[in-house]
Structure 1
Amino acid sequence: MTDHQKFLASAKRVITQEAQALHTLSDGLNDSFAQAVALLLDVKGRVIVTGMGKSGHIARKIAATFASTGTPAHFVHPAEASHGDLGMMTRGDVVLVLSNSGETPELADLVAYTRRFSIPMIGVASKPHSTLLTRADVALVLPSLGEACGTGVVPTTSTTMTLALGDALAVALMEHRSFTPENFRDFHPGGKLGAQLSKVSDLMHTGDAIPLVAVDTPMTETLLTISQKGFGVVGVVDETQALVGIVTDGDLRRHMAGLLGHTAQEVMTKGPATVNPNALAEEALAVMNARTITCLFAVDPDGDRRVAGVLHIHDCLRAGIV
């Protein structure tokens, strides 16, 4: 067997073993998991997630996932907790403690603190009779399986199961709360995900920046508004300020003969495409691409077609929506 073949065989063995461990974890979930979710739902303060070493890295990720999906949470390092950070935990919080062995020495002060001040604690470990799980209010037992490293000493399978268990808790919580992609965007405005979840109202131009004219506006003034506002179009509104049409470059070309003798209403295209300000900007971009247009007016969703803003395709591109 060549070195490359050995590398692939090793990788496949690890992934297969960890995948089997996840199946075992899933099959073994019981009422304790439901109790943990109920406890997390009832928390009045924050979820404190903690662990030492590799479990600590997993704890940081779980805390971040909780926080970005509607469950306020943060990570507390157990060693730092013994030197003042215990003050980060108060009555009303829930503590989620991760330890594969359930006997991690650095967790002792933190666990004792939760017991002293009656702070609910959820323990995650692979040994049901460990100190952590016997003292926890809710014990989540990981299947006691060998690590995928082959030597049994490198946290691999155990950390994968712990991470998956944390994800399962977070998703159960967000589904119960009917947490939506729009909610997620509120906690995650940056990066590609934030761009994909941007709303039209986040990007549109409002107020005096909106190019609007009344139906009886002469085309001389209409052209001036198009030029001043810089969108290449102008919306036409009636006496109730409802959008009734739009004047585009195509409309100007079609009425070139005697253009300046017309009003905006006589030149406009009636019933233009619009978008809800609360719609995702990606939806607006899809409409613009489908209709081969560069602007969309956002109208209030209450049915009166009053203009709330205008969105240009360049606004979407600048935000990273492609």
Structure 2
Amino acid sequence: MSNQIDFQKVARETLRLEEQALHVLAEQIDERFSRACEIILQCQGRLVVTGMGKSGHIGRKMAATFASTGTPSFFMHPGEAGHGDLGMLVRGDVLIAISNSGKSDEIMMLMPLIKHLGVPLITISANDTGPMPQNADVALTLGELTEACPLGLAPTSSTTATLALGDALAVALLDARGFTAEDFARSHPAGALGKRLLLHVKHLMHKGAELPKVRPDMPMSKVLYEISDKRLGLTTVVDEHDTLLGIFTDGDLRRMIDRQQGFDINVAVADVMTKKPFTISAEARAVEALELLRDKKINQFVVVDEANKVIGVISMHDLIQAGVN
């Protein structure tokens, strides 16, 4: 039987109807939308989102989007609210209630207490004729749209439009708050963006007892022990104040052996070190460090302070292992 159905045609028609729903929704954006944004911006508590069934699923996503873009928010299930969870809603909050019909029994049951708390109510429904929008401070509407479901029963176009309206609110509020990429990263510290914007060299560098350091007059026989012991593939060379004088790396050792067919293990490291090595600040972003390492085709940076004192070492391996890319 499935061979008699043009799946691609059905898909295109579904998308056409949902696209049409977004055009209808765009015509509904007026001063009510602005008023809803103002109410939310003035909120001293949390933005609480509620809805039953498919509206509830959309509401959960809306609350998550608000929360991640600078508007503290959470979802409250209206059925559970009638059995104790209404305690989540307190004076100072703002409530967004979603119901395509505008007459969800579970939400209407909560209306007396919502009014008693003095919580501003923003509703989202197809039109403003139902009891929910009639009781709202702001009634946002989706407009007269056609569900993509051929039976006209399963919420499809209406849920798409509701989701888009929630995104529009979140983006408008984000813009009004001056929310930045750094702000977004703070609520997504484990994500790629969070690592790019929040991780700095100081968070990943080797320091303290892990830091390889030798004096310039130390013979290579002892320098090699320091490199091997600290396992970073190099050692810094510093004076008595920890001021950076140079570095000696595994690569330097290999090049010396290639050139000299061996080398004097008693030679002082100052005679063979690389002077003026590449350095970086502890405050530099980790992603910038990785880009510079790749650009300069080196594996490590010495981390120095403003006085050129050695405070750490960071390697490409450290950055990649931390998920910086």
**Would you call these one fold, judging by a TM-score over 0.5?**
yes
TM-score, normalising length from structure 1?
0.86
1:312 corresponds, among 305, 311, 315, to 315
**What is residue 270 of structure 1 aligned with on the other side?**
276
- 1:104: Cα distance to partner? 0.8
Q: Report the Cα distance in structure 2 between the residues aligned to 1:54 and 1:95, rounded to whole angstroms.
A: 18
Q: Which residue type is aligned with residue 310 of structure 1? A: V
What amino acid does structure 2 have at the position aligned with 1:73? S
**Structure number with bigger Rg:** 2
Count of residues in correspondence between the two structures: 319
Q: CA deviation at 1:130?
A: 2.0
In the alignment, the residues of structure 2 paired with residue 274 and residue 173 of structure 1 have an alpha-carbon distance, to the nearest angstrom, of: 38
Q: TM-score, normalised by structure 2?
A: 0.85
Please say if residues 245 and 272 of structure 1, whose CA atoms lie closer than 8 Å, have aligned partners that are also in contact.
Answer: no
In structure 2, give the amino acid aligned to 1:189: P
Tell me: CA distance 1:310–1:223, structure 2 relative to 1, closer, same or farther (3 Å): same
173-182 vs 36-45, which moves further: 173-182
Cα deviation for residue 244 of structure 1 reads 5.3
Residue deviations 1:268-318, cap 9 Å, x none? Answer: 241404255351x33322222222222234445xx4445554332222333
Contact 2:206 2:314 in 1 (8 A): yes
Range with bigger deviation, 201-210 or 34-43: 201-210
CA 44–3 in structure 1, closer or farther in 2 if over 3 Å, else same? same
Provide the C-alpha distance between the structure 2 equivalents of 1:96 and 1:316, rounded to a whole number of angstroms.
43
Return the letter of the residue paired with 1:277. Answer: E
- State the shift of 1:212 in Å: 3.6
In structure 1, C-alpha distance between the alignment counterparts of 2:186 and 2:120, rounded to whole Å: 29
Q: State the Cα distance separating 1:75 from its structure 2 match.
A: 0.7
Alpha-carbon deviation of 1:103? 0.7
For structure 1, which segment, 93-102 or 73-82, has the greater mean C-alpha deviation from structure 2 after superposition? Answer: 93-102
Closer, same or farther in 2 for the Cα pair 1:24/1:247, shift >3 Å?
farther
* Correspondence for 2:207: 206
**CA 203–116 in structure 1, closer or farther in 2 if over 3 Å, else same:** same
Q: Considering only aligned residues, what root-mean-square deviation do their CA atoms show, in Å?
A: 2.8
Structure 1 residues 217 and 66: CA distance shift in structure 2, 3 A: farther
Amino acid in the other structure paired with 1:262: A
Could you say if the C-alpha distance between residues 16 and 83 of structure 1 is closer, same or farther in structure 2, counting changes exceeding 3 Å? same
| Aligned equivalents of 1:185, 1:202: Cα separation in 2 | 16
Gaps of 5+ in 1: none
- Residue ranges of structure 2 left out of the alignment (5+ in a row): 258-262
- The answer to whether the 8 Å contact 1:219/1:264 transfers is no
Query: Cα offset for 1:11?
Result: 0.7
Q: Secondary structure at the match of 2:55?
A: helix
Deviation at 1:214, TM superposition (A): 5.1
